[in-house]
Amino acid sequence: MPLTGIEIFKLLPKTNCQACGVPTCLAFAMALAAGKAELAKCPHVSEEAKSKLSEASAPPILPVTIGTGDKALKLGGETVMFRHEKRFENPPGIAILISDKMSDAEVDARLKKVKDLTYERVGLTLTANLVALKAESGDAAKFAALVGRVKAGSDANMILISDKVDVLAAGARAGADKKPLLHAATKDNADAVAALAKETGCAVAAKAGNLDELASLTGKLAAAGLKNIVIDSGARTVRQAFEDQVVIRSAALNKKFRALGYPTIVFPAEMTNNPMKEAMISAMFVAKYAGIIVLSDFRGESLFPLLVERLNIYTDPQRPLATKQGIYEINNPNENSPLMVTSNFSLTYFIVSGEIENSKVPSFLYVKDTEGLSVMTSWAAGKFSADIIAPAILKSGITDKIKHRKLIIPGYIAAESGGLEEEMKGWEIMVGPRDASHLTPYLKAWKA
């Protein structure tokens, strides 16, 4: 049972030093009990208290790792029902299904899709680096061979799926060094699969026919000493699976029900034969609240929107994506190339730099740190005004790179042009277009 706020308070130093950012130890204890603070924020807590508090301070959805090294997939660790309350922590893994009944050519083609369907967006790489290997043949040697083939041909993290313990064991032993997720322990095989998970050090998925059975199954696995647990409610209809996701998250967060406090796995691949419906179902699970989503196949036209949705939902709403302040050289500029200024909201930077790149006009773009706010928002907040832009540009070193003294500002901050001319003596301030899509004709007509 998790500790209450008062029980936690008794274990804290009670000095009210405020180093945790909260006025009193009692307030910190209450926040910890509600899952809204992290124990690490208190630098004065004793080691003995730390170990006693570890359960209370663990997130209501326990963190789980699949795989090893830099590419390991981290799941769970969630503390809120709704993103705006704080943030969602670990984006769901998106997996492609590969069967041991598929030909080698089909397996290789699917692994190639995992590798190739990778996208750059706002400076981040979007990819679905997870494969779900399903033992449909019932042949242990065949399944182990598939695991070996995938291991050799891909760096993707793996889920091994079989309802036969001997087949699952053959796959797990073949891929143990990659620390795959073993799917699944059930009420009939829990002891054997728990032993296999302990032997190989792999995470294990618990699968049951309903949530009551699932809770008693995770209790059994946890009692066997397993910590890396993922849960599969067994639902394969959209409605039931959706309800289960919401009930599981709510039980773990609002009722502090530890037995369901694990990341989940869902199978849109088994809910429809229609690829577009499958993509829509998956989109729903990205938002509500899957830890892993298994697709029947990857198609660029449906995978890309899913990856973008995942990026948007798992971006911290309190910390906008930002680009580093500085001078960006686009299309190999020279001393006669135009100079523009914009804010460091990543989306703004990538749209503006993309339009400049497409114009093929060699240019300098100066990106001002506006704390990740867009041009309009930062200007309205007083973070993108003449007295802030001018000194930043003058100190940036751009005057060594260009002969002219002309600065193009976004059309939205035209009102700052007078102030900039005051602050930047000898410079001509030019008001550029409001919309980045109009940059190409503007730059083509520009003269030093």
Q: C-beta of 51: minimal distance to ligand SF4 in Å?
A: 16
> Is residue 104 exposed (0-12), middle (13-18) or buried (19+ Cβ within 10 Å)?
exposed
Q: C-beta of 307: minimal distance to ligand SF4 in Å?
A: 39
Q: C-beta of 14: minimal distance to ligand SF4 in Å?
A: 7
| Residue placing its CB nearer to ligand SF4 in the complex, 33 or 96 | 33
Q: C-beta of 17: minimal distance to ligand SF4 in Å?
A: 4
Amino acid letter, 69 = G
Cα–Cα distance for residue pair 46/55, rounded to 1 Å:
15
One-character DSSP codes across 159-192: EEE-SSHHHHHHHHHHHGGG-PEEEEE-TTTHHH
Structure tokens at 298: 């990857």
Cα–Cα distance for residue pair 312/304, rounded to 1 Å:
12
Cα–Cα distance for residue pair 278/207, rounded to 1 Å:
21
| Residue placing its CB nearer to ligand SF4 in the complex, 17 or 381 | 17
Identify which of 436, 448, 432, 447 has the alpha carbon closest to the alpha carbon of residue 358. 436
| Residue placing its CB nearer to ligand SF4 in the complex, 41 or 101 | 41
Q: C-beta of 36: minimal distance to ligand SF4 in Å?
A: 14
Asked if residue 111 lies in contact with residue 152, where contact means CB atoms within 8 angstroms, the answer is: no
| Residue placing its CB nearer to ligand SF4 in the complex, 12 or 367 | 12
Asked if residue 346 lies in contact with residue 321, where contact means CB atoms within 8 angstroms, the answer is: yes
Count how many residues are written for the chain.
Answer: 448
| Residue placing its CB nearer to ligand SF4 in the complex, 2 or 275 | 2
Is residue 194 classed as helix, strand or coil in its secondary structure? Answer: helix
| Residue placing its CB nearer to ligand SF4 in the complex, 28 or 143 | 28
Q: C-beta of 44: minimal distance to ligand SF4 in Å?
A: 5
| Residue placing its CB nearer to ligand SF4 in the complex, 37 or 75 | 37
Structure tokens at 167: 């087949």
What is the distance in angstroms between the CA of the first residue and the CA of the last residue of the chain?
71
Asked if residue 180 lies in contact with residue 169, where contact means CB atoms within 8 angstroms, the answer is: no
SS3 assignment for 287-314: HCCCCEEEECCCCHHHHHHHHHHHHHHC
Structure tokens at 377: 């928002």
Identify which of 431, 381, 374 has the alpha carbon closest to the alpha carbon of residue 406. 431
Q: C-beta of 34: minimal distance to ligand SF4 in Å?
A: 14
> Any bridge partners for residue 363, and if so which?
330
Structure tokens at 341: 């200024």
| Residue placing its CB nearer to ligand SF4 in the complex, 18 or 254 | 18
| Residue placing its CB nearer to ligand SF4 in the complex, 20 or 160 | 20
Structure tokens at 330: 């686009």
Q: C-beta of 23: minimal distance to ligand SF4 in Å?
A: 8
Q: C-beta of 38: minimal distance to ligand SF4 in Å?
A: 11
Residues of this chain that interact with ligand SF4 (CB under 6 A) are 12-13, 15-20, 22, 25, 28, 42, 44
| Residue placing its CB nearer to ligand SF4 in the complex, 20 or 424 | 20
Q: C-beta of 80: minimal distance to ligand SF4 in Å?
A: 22
